[in-house]
Amino acid sequence: MADVIETQLAVLGAGPGGYPAAFLAADKGMKVTLIDARERPGGTCLHVGCIPSKAVLHAAKLLTDARDAAHIGITFGQPKIDINGVRGHWQRVVETLTGNLGRLAQARKIDYVTGRGKFIDGRTIEVAGRGRYRFENCIVATGSVPAVPPSLNLASPRVMDSTGALKLEDVPPHLLVVGGGYIGLEMGYVYAALGSKVTVVEMTDGLLPGCDRDLVLPLHKRLSNIFDKIYLKTKVSRLEETPQGIRVTLEGEDVADKQPIFERVLVAVGRRPNSRDLGLDKAGVASDERGFIQVDERRRTTAERIYAIGDVAGEPMLAHKATYEGKIAVEVIAGEPAVYDARAVPAVVFTDPEVAWCGLTETEAQRSNREIKRVRFPWAGSGRAMTLDRTEGLTKLIVDPETDRVLGVGIVGAGAGEMIAEAMLAIEMAASARDLAMTMHAHPTLSETLMEAAESLYGLAVHQMPAKK
Ligand code: NAD
């Protein structure tokens, strides 16, 4: 029998849930073992997700901004794109960030173990080739993996998931993106900016299902100019390899060519929790029918001493939610009075324009028959948006009709992802729309649109006519 290594806290998975949890636990004085199949911490988000995709989106935005500059009298020549250079940019970013994390883990004296961990009982994890770790407590933070239905599961170098898309092996003349969600739109935007003719196929009746339609509209309009085609209410039901490319079967009323051929296909139809093959049953950790580990408000699983956080523990599958939950789990383990009580989780889609929202959406309010007041401030009234030549944006507040408390905020427009932070603070601090209206905002900034949206609730917005009485 291999030696058993004793540890106070084993953290399984070193993504944006696991590594901050491990760091915090070490800072609190625990002996921590951080286990991950990758050689360095960072998980999907840093290695092949949030961070590299933002690096290539930056490149894409430079290209589209340069093209759009013609509107304000500046014309650039045809850009020369060195795809190796674009790839090199994200690889350098990932190299630096994950290297820094490795050093931070070392400085905290965290035992970083490379390998796949598996429970063999409720107190022990086995890491293939590395040994057995007996823990006092454990946090499962194994994240998620792309979910690919059998109909789209074609083993072909032309069919990519988001990780494959980031490799930027080439800029295909025609790219099909299956799924008009976060990944489909972000990576579709990148390839379109680089020069591919991109077709996006979305099964539901709109891009970004779940997001309020008025926020999606300006993005949809702009993407209609950037993408070759956007098909809604259309399903991709089959992928077949042919010598010319992938023949795709499309099921939808508006589709003229039901079997087009594409040089490459990106499948981005969602992710599933990474909970298989972890030996959860051996540890007594229950998961639901979709594979999400069941947790309570302290992020405790059904097994004593085992906690779960991040994508594997439930939706929304967003990195910042994982980080937040990791902090809760570590505080609970340390005996502190912590519970998950976040009032909202911000969501950001990093297309151009960006779409960001938090708290109650209008769609959710309608669905649950909840009475709300809704105010909108179109960016056509924002001086700052005009200077940027980006007036298509919109800022929207969802407010409690009795107390005027801010319940939700949605923003579409350049930089919406940064602006949502103020909205999050307003919701967490139980601010009212009047608080937002009475807070001085720097001029000229896009953040003024939050203030003016709030002011319009009281008929006080300078750049918007009061509603007729
Ligand atoms: P998603 O759930 O955002 O979108 C998938 C889309 O595919 C849906 O709109 C769905 O209706 C559609 N679809 C499913 N099957 C289809 C078919 N056969 N034909 C046509 N359309 C089909 O999933 P995603 O884009 O794969 O992203 C996965 C998750 O990763 C997201 O839910 C999000 O949590 C996370 N993510 C977040 C960010 C961010 O925060 N900016 C970026 C990328 C990914």
Active-site residue, 47 included = no
Give the distance between the most distant pair of CA atoms in the chain: 81
Q: Give the nearest ligand 1 atom to 162 CA.
A: 26
Residue 342 CA, ligand 1 centroid: distance in Å: 24
Considering only CA atoms, which of 453, 403, 402 is closest in space to residue 431? Answer: 403
Same fold, 5-146+273-333 and 150-269: yes
Omega within 30 of 0 (cis) for the link into 466: no
Tokens of 4: 């058993």
pLDDT of residue 435: 98
pLDDT of residue 2: 61
Q: Give the nearest ligand 1 atom to 49 CA.
A: 43
pLDDT of residue 346: 98
Residue 13 CA, ligand 1 centroid: distance in Å: 22
The length of the chain in residues reads: 469
Rounded to an integer, what distance in angstroms lies between the CA atom of residue 297 and that of residue 284?
19
List pLDDT tens digits, range 444-466: 999 999 999 999 999 998 999 88
Tokens of 174: 């025609």
Q: Where does 86-234 show beta strands of DSSP type E?
A: 111-114, 117-121, 124-127, 131-140, 144-146, 159-160, 174-178, 197-201, 229-231
Q: Which residue has the tokens 């940064």?
A: 418
With residues binned 3-state (H G I as helix, E B as strand, rest as coil), the percentages for the chain, rounded to 5, are 35, 25, 40
Give the pTM: 0.97
List pLDDT tens digits, range 106-152: 999 999 999 999 999 999 999 999 999 999 999 999 999 999 999 99
Residue 450 CA, ligand 1 centroid: distance in Å: 28
Omega within 30 of 0 (cis) for the link into 273: no
**C-beta neighbour count of 389 within 10 angstroms:** 13
On whether the 150-269 domain is CATH 3.50.50.60, my answer is yes
pLDDT of residue 106: 98
Q: Which of 269, 351, 357 to mutate to test the pocket of ligand 1 (most atoms within 8 A of CB)?
A: 269
pLDDT of residue 81: 97
Backbone angles phi, psi at 391, to 5 degrees: -95, 10
Task: Compute mean pLDDT per 10 residues along the chain, 469 residues long, and list them.
Answer: 88 98 98 98 98 98 97 97 98 98 98 98 96 98 96 97 97 98 98 98 97 98 98 97 97 93 98 97 98 98 98 98 98 98 98 98 98 98 98 98 98 98 98 98 98 96 85
Q: Give residue ranges with CB within 6 A of ligand 1.
A: 178-184, 186, 201-204, 209, 235-236, 268-271, 316-318, 348-350
Residue 270 CA, ligand 1 centroid: distance in Å: 4
3 state SS for 36-79: ECCCCCCHHHHHHCHHHHHHHHHHHHHHHHHHHHHHHCCCCCCC
Q: Where are the domains of the chain?
A: 5-146+273-333, 150-269, 347-456
CATH superfamily of 347-456: FAD/NAD-linked reductase, C-terminal dimerisation domain (3.30.390.30)
* Level-2 CATH architecture, domain 5-146+273-333: 3-Layer(bba) Sandwich (3.50)
- Residue 415 CA, distance from chain mean position: 16
Q: Give the nearest ligand 1 atom to 207 CA.
A: 9
Rounded to an integer, what distance in angstroms lies between the CA atom of residue 382 and that of residue 384?
5
